[in-house]
Amino acid sequence: MLDIKCDNCGSIGKMSLLEGSYEGPYRCWKCRSPFIIKIENNELQLCKPISEEEFETLFDESNA
């Protein structure tokens, strides 16, 4: 289980992956702030705030 700390509200989100890598949109479970995250080898490498529009675009692309 991977911990992801929200830079906006400070809450800790949890994520579990089947594979050890992921790059894409993430939304804080508490304040709903959108981010782009990158995980490699089950370690968080990037957690960058993005706009709501960027989130929607990335979310739509990842679910296509």
CA distance 52 to 41: 28
Locate the domains of the chain by residue range: 2-62
Contacts of 51 (CB under 8 A, 6+ apart): 34
Residues 3-11, mean pLDDT to the nearest whole number: 94
Which pLDDT value is given to residue 11?
96
pLDDT digits (tens, 9 = 90+) for 12-23: 999 988 888 999
Which pLDDT value is given to residue 63?
77
Which pLDDT value is given to residue 14?
93
Q: Are 48 and 33 in contact (CB under 8 A)?
A: no
If pLDDT is split at 50, 70 and 90, which confidence band does 60 have?
Answer: confident
pLDDT digits (tens, 9 = 90+) for 33-58: 999 999 999 999 999 999 999 999 98
